[in-house]
Structures are given as C-alpha cells and as structure tokens.
Amino acid sequence: KPGPGAVPPGLRFEPVAPNTADAVTIPPGYEQEVVIRWGDPVLAGAPQFSPAGQSATAQARQFGYNCDYLALLDLPGERDRKILVANHEYTDEVLMFAGYNAANPTRAQVEIAWAAHGMSVVALEENRRNGRLSPVRGHRLNRRVTATTPIEFTGPAAGSALLKTSADPAGRTVLGTLNNCGGGMTPWGTVLSGEENFNQYFGNADLNTDPTAKARLARYGLRGLASERKWERFDKRFDVSQEPNEVNRHGWIVEIDPFDPAAKPRKLTALGRFKHEAAEPRLTRDGRVVLYMGDDERFDYFYKYVSKNRFKKGNSQSARRHNRTLLDEGTLYVAKFTGDSPTGEIDGSGKLPSDGEFDGTGQWIPLASGTRSFVDGMTAEEVYVYTRLAADKAGATKMDRPEDVEPHPRTGTVYVALTNNSDRGAAGKAGPDEANPRTGNRHGQVMEVIESGNDAAATSFRWRLFLVCGDPADPGTYFAGFPKDQVSPISCPDNVAFDPHGNLWIATDGNALKSNDGLFGVAIDGPNRGQVKQFLTVPIGAETCGPIIEERRVLVAVQHPGELDGASVEQPRSTWPDGPGHLVRPSVISVHRTDGGRIGA
Ligand code: FEO
Ligand code: CA
Ligand code: CA
Ligand code: CA
C-alpha cells in the first residue's frame, strides 16, 4: 500500500509554493544564474544585445528568442567545456520591438524574427570553482540555424512531388526551421527537434478552392487569410495561394549534428509530418532505434518509429555514416489505447474506476514502412506528408495533447505528458475514455507505457496513468495513490526528463491553477511513488522548458516570460531577468546548491 517513506535522493528539497512572482523562485539553499539570454552574442563578431539597435544580421549571430528544448553535450578534448544545443520556438514581436504595429510590421522586424527562430549551438565554459556556465563567443562549433538556413530533406518523402516548390523544384532543400519545441538526443550524439505549430506562419489558406487541398490544410490548422505575423507579404513562400507546397516542408523532426558545423541540418521524412512536440529514443533488444513522438494538438496522436537497421556503437567514420541513415528507413506506427474497465465507469470526472486504475492495453498500428503504405487509399509519400490523415484512417486514439515523452533510462517504461484538452467531451468532440478520462480536461495527465516483453519494437503494450494532474484537493486528481495532502499542485505537464537517480522531472506550460508554471520532481517507484514536489517556478507569463537535471545542476529554458494579454514593450508584465527598465528576455538558467552539493541530496 502506498504511503510516505524516506524521501528518496534527488528529491530532498523544500518544495516551492505556488506564486505569481516576476522571478524564478527556487528552494532555500539553492542559487540561480542566467547562462544565456535572447540576443547574447554566439558567433564571432556578434554585437552585444541592444534593444534599439536590433538588426537581422546581428540577430543571426546572437542567441534566438523563446528557447525551448535544451541538450548539453560533452565536448571531447576541451576540458571544462560543454556544448549547449537550444532551439527557438517562436517570436513575441510585441515584447521585442518598441511600438510594434501588428497590422503592419516592417521588413526589418520580419527579418529579425526570421533570424530569431531556429536553433543555437553554443559552447559553454564551466567555472571549476563554482560550476557556473558562461557562453564561449565565437567557438568553432558555435552555430545559428534560422528561418532561412538551408536544410536537407532525407528519407522516403525527400524529392516527393508534394515537397517541390518554385524555389526548390527538386523537393530536397528547404529554407529554415520554424516553431521548434521539444527534442531529443540520438545514441550517436546528434540532436532532434520537433517543428510544432508551423501553420501559424502561413497566410491565405482560404484562397484555395480545391476540396482535397482544403481538407489537408484544415487538418493541419491552416485556415483564414492574413497570418498573425504577415510574413506572406515579405516572402511569397509563406503565401499558401502562391506556393502551395511550402507548408508541406514544415512540421518535421529536424536532426542537427552539433559537432559538424559544416553539415546541413536534416528534416527526417520517415518520422512523419505533424505538430511534432519531441522525439525521444530507445534501443530495441536487437539494437534498432525507436523514437517516441507526440503530436501536440487536442485529439491528436501518439506515434513511434522503429528503424530497419541496427545502431553501430563507436565514433568511427563508418559507424557515424551508418547511424545517420537509421532515421531514414523504418516503420512509422500510431498508438491505439484500450481501457480495461467498463466504459460506464469512466464518467468524465476523473473518479477512478472500480479496478483502482486508469489502465489498459494498446496496439501500435503501422502506417508506412519505406515505400510501402499500410493505409488504404494513401501512398507512402502521402502517409509521410499527411500523417494526421493517415492516422485518422487507421483508427488511432484521440489523445489530450501528447507533449514530451521520455523512456526511463533503466526500466524502459515510457512516460508521456498529455498536457490538457479543454474540448474533451464538448459537443461534437470525442468524450472521455480510460486514457483521457476527464471531460473539459484543464490540467492534463502523465501516462506510463510498458511495451510487451519490455521490447521497444513490440507492436502491443500496456499503459496506465501515473498522474492525473490538478489541485490535489480536487477529487478528480490522482498521484499514483500517494496521499494527496503531501503533494504539490501540478497542472499542464509538458516537458519530462529523468535525474541521475531515476526520478521523473516534469516542466509545465499553461498552469490552470492561477500560479506561474514550474518544474517538479517525482519518485516513480518505492513508497514515495507519486509524491510530486515543486522545485522551481518561472516568471509570470513564462512556460518551463528543456529541463536537464544533472547531479549538481538543473538547467531550464524560461520561454515567453511576460507573455500575457495586453503586454508590450511599453507596458511590460515582466522585466525578467534584468529588472525594470530592461526588455524581458527569454533565457536559459542554471540552478545549483549554494554549498555545491548534489541536487536534492
Ligand atoms: Fe511548444 Fe507543445 O509545446
Ligand atoms: Ca482500469
Ligand atoms: Ca512543449
Ligand atoms: Ca508547451
């Protein structure tokens, strides 16, 4: 029977209370510092950030806006240095430019925004005395990828007619990557990043009159005329009526090799096209690579990819060349979840069914493998480019916004954050099921998926909900059976990661409990399973991203601080991290113990 025991290592800190401060709040005995801010110099010759002196050329050499995913890699041969890979999801023009006129942006502002999207690769130097990290400007590996950097398509849909445009008649090279959200790291040391809400950058979808094209656009959220940022006025590729296939070239997983600045990043078509949140790998028993992937939209799906060939260990040229093909040839699956309790017991309130758990079994339905389609009426190329429509036909389970995923490094159990779905059970929408048990779900849930035989290549699995999030005083919440008077409230799980002890850490986005978002640690086994403890809160308006929990350091990307209705440069709701008189700046922060000890020891 669950109940409190001794708090396990990694989680021994005083929880932070919910708050709405314009600050990062951390437990007593801890310190924080900003590692890198939007606009800080990255490439050689980059100027210091200047709010009034912004330019596209400067921004293309500086750290981008709205950092989300973070990967921190060792830098062989360079002592006390690491490589940070961050992505930059989108831009908040009203918080970037004084006097911004959303109806009539200038070319200069649009080009700065293009340069502020994408990814950054930055070497960091670690101070041996206090563990602090600071950027090494102009390091040979430092790199910026923006909305205009050439990126290569690979895999079965590269060169497809569906990817051809007037600027790229071969359908093999696209400019830029947009709306990069979560990510993952491959076993061969490259970084993956998910292109999420790419639809928002494209205008004039409604000028299209062909019913098939219209349905495809609508399924990806493309509708209306002018886009929010009006980019279609400055580059016709963002105008769907003029360049109908450009939109098909976004919504992919991007792979970048941080150790090879000359290599083009790649968009991996074998992994399908949807609003990719992240892609987290695991190896099968026989050494093939599996990626778990969420499509972050209300009522969208959970996917996995299984490579055809096996991962080769080592850093030789031939191993690297071989491993770089693993994500181009394989099988793409989508998940179907079946509950094991009578449907009548799932009443939409979050009340547990009579067997005491929201749980059941599931199947992985194949969609395509190489040039072979498993979906009636769709070619393999169509499955890869219009993956959502393929999964609709396959009968996948409509989920409550699948966000980040993380396989446990030791047990292999896959943790899936389902962030919320206020439309669950609404008129004309899917009602509650055992995997998505609450109508009008505002707080989300965290699921455990255990593959059959614990083999990542299995085509069936068991699953159960680990957390049904919200205010613990709400009877429709569940903390794996742990006493609810001893847990932190948690709402809208988004990014997930494990610490070196095997505890799960959850970053939130969209907290519907009237507190700022934050980062939480929770034990997943033992007597404290389900004891959620809040480690930090981020400033008002921000979401918590990219958590990396090391033995002595926690890194977090603070994304869109101060993003609240009506906020602007003139009327900011946040001036974090530099205080009044300064522009709010999304930044990466590091938290460590004041005495240099282990996190949560
Ligand atoms: Fe960009 Fe699904 O969060
Ligand atoms: Ca059940
Ligand atoms: Ca996210
Ligand atoms: Ca999010």
DSSP characters over 133-192: EEE-TT-TT-EEE-TTSEEEEESTTTT-GGG--SS-TTS-EEE----EEEEEE-TTS-EE
Could you tell me which CATH class the domain 30-196+251-593 is placed in?
A: mainly beta
How many residues can be counted in the chain? Answer: 601
Ligand 4 center–CA 45 separation, angstroms: 33
Burial code (b: 16+ CB inside 10 Å, e: under 16) for 388-401 equals bbbbbebebbbbbb
Residue 14 has a pLDDT of 97
Distance CA 249, CA 174 (A): 7
Is any atom of ligand 1 closer than 6 Å to the C-beta of 296?
A: yes
pLDDT digits over 534-574, tens only? 999 999 999 999 999 999 999 999 999 999 999 999 999 99
What is the pLDDT, as a whole number, of residue 2?
A: 60
* Model pLDDT, residue 262: 94
- Find the ligand nearest to 197 CA: 1
Rg over alpha carbons for the chain, rounded to the nearest Å, is 23
Kindly tell me if the per-residue pLDDT of 254 is higher than 90.
yes
Does ipTM exceed 0.90? Answer: yes
Atom from ligand 1 closest to the CA of residue 403: 2
Alpha carbon of 567 to ligand 1 centroid (Å): 21
Instruction: Summarize pLDDT for 265-320 with one digit per residue, the tens.
Output: 999 999 999 999 999 999 999 999 999 999 999 999 999 999 999 999 998 889 99
Pairing of β 266-268 and β 150-154: parallel
Residue whose entry in the numeric block shows the structure tokens 């509950």: 339
Q: Which atom of ligand 1 is nearest to the CA of 401?
A: 2
Global model pTM greater than 0.95: yes
Whether the per-residue pLDDT at 1 is higher than 60: the answer is no
Whole-angstrom CA distances from 232 to 20, 218, 236, 492 are 37, 18, 5, 33
Q: Is the CB of 403 under 6 A from ligand 1?
A: yes
Give the nearest ligand 1 atom to 419 CA: 2
Phi-psi region of 318 (alpha: psi -120 to 50; beta: other; left: phi over 0): alpha
CA distance 271 to 71: 20
How is residue 224 annotated by DSSP? S
In angstroms, the Cα distances linking 376 to 155, 273, 393 are: 21, 18, 8
Q: What is the pLDDT of residue 212?
A: 94
Percentage of the chain beyond pLDDT 70 is 100
Q: At what angle do helices 387-394 and 211-219 cross, to 10 degrees?
A: 90
Position 4 scores a pLDDT of 78
Domain boundaries, the chain: 30-196+251-593
Number of the ligand closest to the Cα of 543: 4
